[in-house]
């Protein structure tokens, strides 16, 4: 099947259309013409693989990882970096348009490093041919292991440390975890910051050989070693409840934008060290000076809270992970910062209590990929917070959250940071201001005869309505279907656009299911 790739999807697949049905094609770029083999078909879409490239994009990169097509971790590494940035911003803009009705140009800050940028990894350990202990990745959408010799995303110093670890483990004849006898090495975690490396070996119920630990501790740059016991079969977290400090420092010391910090083994930190500095600096630059109260939800080890201390009389950081709060409190003392306090608890519940005592000038949120939950959204709305700086790693949940908040907040600015080159993921910083106080919000009085009666139509083009219906319902609607439904719903059509040539002209009625889908699209685009 010969198809032209039109755009890139959220998972990095190229998207073409066959009789108006989307076809998702791996390793294909916009503008390419490909011969496609269909491997799966449903009512809404098809999935295919490339048999042959009939036209290759000038933006295709051939300098890619040889394991990329198996592990799926780098979904767009076959695109040159300029195209990667365009794909990311296009996906972000599409999410904002689709879920929040916002059309906005977006700047993106490129990553200082396109390869070897990740400062940490969490990798399964398994046996290669039942002989050799190796690190692996899970093949995309499976639980099958993909063995690899190198990862082009990991910092080079981490790759060197990973290889040395495996060599030492091999000398001690250590085996991968066996879920039946609950013994063996299960995962390897490493993180590098400020020239030091944290190591955590996740195992079954066993004691690691002291000589083995001694040898790992003498790998160059390793300053901290932990063992985590995890025998759970269902846990999504690689770390178990039991964490044993085996050697070296208990925390990892580093510095970002003049803030000295300690990081425990469980605490989160951004994976792209250089880009994190720019992102955090941008967040603080967005804040007004001389504020009374600033709150950071999901604060982790408190980096942004401590940086915000210069902008406010009082800053409160909230985090549900106890280890991170312990780090944050120590970090405040380390930097001699006295106007920041940290609370361990649920962000929504804690903000509710805080707002009963005082107004909040700025709320900083950096939630997990699931975004803000219903309780947090309700808390924000009820708390009448003046400004929100939303840091997001998920375009879709950001847009859905903005849509909920749009009745109460105006989006002042948005900027993207490429924290994850070679993937479709991006970190986004968005500023929302309370509508009554938004800098660009003006109340006006308009007479009814001054209204543009075609304003509703400008909410979405016919092509946008067609695309939305196709994606949600899996079938095609024509311009005539849309025009007839508009007239039926009282949405005024432009003169002579899709009108019958005469009053006696007959055109087929729009099927009920298509009419209902089009009405759903009108509601989505706020045309009704």
Catalytic residues: 393
Whether the Cβ atoms of residue 74 and residue 68 lie closer than 8 Å to each other: yes
| Alpha helical stretches, state H, 272-359 | 273-285, 303-307, 322-334, 347-357
Cα dihedral value 367, 258, 195, 211, nearest 10: -70
Whether the Cβ atoms of residue 203 and residue 177 lie closer than 8 Å to each other: yes
Tokens of 69: 């097509």
Tokens of 329: 């409190």
DSSP assignment string, 437-469: G-TT-------GGGS-TTTGGGGS-HHHHHHHH
Sheet of strand 312-319, all strands in order from the earlier edge strand to the far edge: 107-109, 409-417, 427-434, 387-392, 362-365, 291-297, 312-319, 340-344
d(C-alpha 46, C-alpha 13), whole Å:
12
Return the DSSP state at 205: S
**Closest alpha carbon to 9 in 460, 395, 372, 391:** 395
CB atoms within 10 A of CB 370: 8
DSSP assignment string, 146-192: EE-S--SSB-HHHHHHHHHHHHHHHHTT--B-BTTTTBSEEEEEEEE
CA angle, 289 as apex, 287 and 290 as ends, to 5°?
130
b/e sequence 326-349, b meaning 16+ C-beta within 10 Å: bbbbbbbeebebeebebbbebbbe
d(C-alpha 13, C-alpha 25), whole Å:
5
Whether the Cβ atoms of residue 324 and residue 262 lie closer than 8 Å to each other: no
| Alpha helical stretches, state H, 391-525 | 395-405, 462-473, 479-489, 512-524
d(C-alpha 391, C-alpha 374), whole Å:
17
Paired sense of beta strands 312-319 and 340-344, if any: parallel
């Amino acid at each position: 099947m010969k198809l032209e790739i039109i755009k890139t999807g959220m998972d990095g697949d190229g998207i073409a259309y066959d009789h108006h049905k989307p076809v998702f094609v791996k390793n294909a770029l916009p503008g390419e013409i490909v011969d496609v083999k269909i491997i799966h078909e449903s009512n809404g879409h098809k999935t295919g693989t490339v048999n042959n490239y009939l036209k290759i994009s000038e933006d295709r990169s051939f300098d890619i990882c040889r394991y990329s097509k198996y592990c799926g971790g780098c979904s767009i590494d076959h695109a040159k970096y300029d195209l990667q940035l365009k794909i990311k911003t296009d996906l972000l803009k599409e999410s904002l348009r689709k879920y929040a009705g916002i059309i906005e140009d977006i700047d993106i800050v490129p990553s200082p490093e396109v390869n070897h940028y990740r400062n940490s990894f969490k990798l399964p350990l398994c046996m290669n041919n039942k002989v050799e202990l190796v690190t692996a990745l899970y093949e995309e959408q499976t639980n099958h292991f993909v063995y690899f010799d190198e990862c082009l995303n990991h910092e080079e110093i981490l790759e060197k440390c990973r290889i040395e670890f495996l060599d030492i483990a091999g000398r001690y004849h250590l085996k991968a975890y066996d879920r039946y006898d609950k013994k063996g090495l299960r995962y390897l975690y490493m993180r590098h910051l400020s020239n030091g490396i944290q190591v955590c070996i996740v195992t079954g119920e066993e004691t690691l050989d002291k000589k083995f630990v001694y040898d790992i501790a003498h790998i160059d740059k390793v300053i901290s070693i932990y063992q985590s016991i995890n025998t759970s079969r269902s846990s999504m977290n690689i770390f178990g409840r039991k964490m044993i400090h085996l050697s070296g420092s208990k925390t990892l010391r580093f510095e970002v934008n003049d803030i000295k910090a300690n990081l425990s083994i469980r605490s989160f930190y951004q994976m792209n060290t250089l880009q994190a500095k720019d992102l955090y600096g941008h967040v603080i630059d967005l804040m007004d000076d001389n504020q009374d109260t600033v709150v950071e939800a999901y604060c982790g080890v408190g980096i942004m809270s401590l940086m915000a201390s210069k902008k406010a009389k009082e800053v409160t950081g909230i985090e549900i992970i106890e280890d991170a709060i312990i780090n944050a409190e120590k970090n405040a003392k380390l930097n001699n910062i006295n106007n920041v306090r940290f609370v361990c608890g649920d962000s929504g519940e804690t903000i509710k209590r805080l707002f009963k005592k005082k107004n909040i000038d700025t709320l900083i949120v950096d939630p997990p990929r699931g975004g803000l939950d219903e309780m947090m959204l309700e808390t924000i709305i009820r708390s009448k917070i003046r400004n929100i700086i939303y840091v997001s790693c998920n375009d879709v949940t950001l847009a859905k959250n903005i849509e909920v908040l749009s009745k109460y907040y105006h989006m002042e600015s948005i900027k993207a940071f490429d924290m994850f080159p070679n993937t479709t993921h991006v970190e986004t910083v968005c500023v929302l201001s309370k509508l009554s106080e938004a800098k660009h919000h003006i109340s006006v009085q308009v007479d009814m005869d001054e209204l543009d009666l075609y304003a509703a139509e400008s909410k979405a083009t016919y092509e946008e309505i067609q695309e939305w219906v196709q994606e949600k319902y899996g079938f095609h609607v024509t311009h005539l279907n849309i025009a007839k439904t508009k007239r039926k719903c009282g949405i005024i059509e432009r003169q002579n656009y899709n009108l019958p040539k005469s009053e006696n002209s007959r055109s087929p009625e729009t099927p009920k299911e298509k009419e209902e889908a089009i009405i759903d699209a009108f509601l989505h685009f706020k045309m009704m």
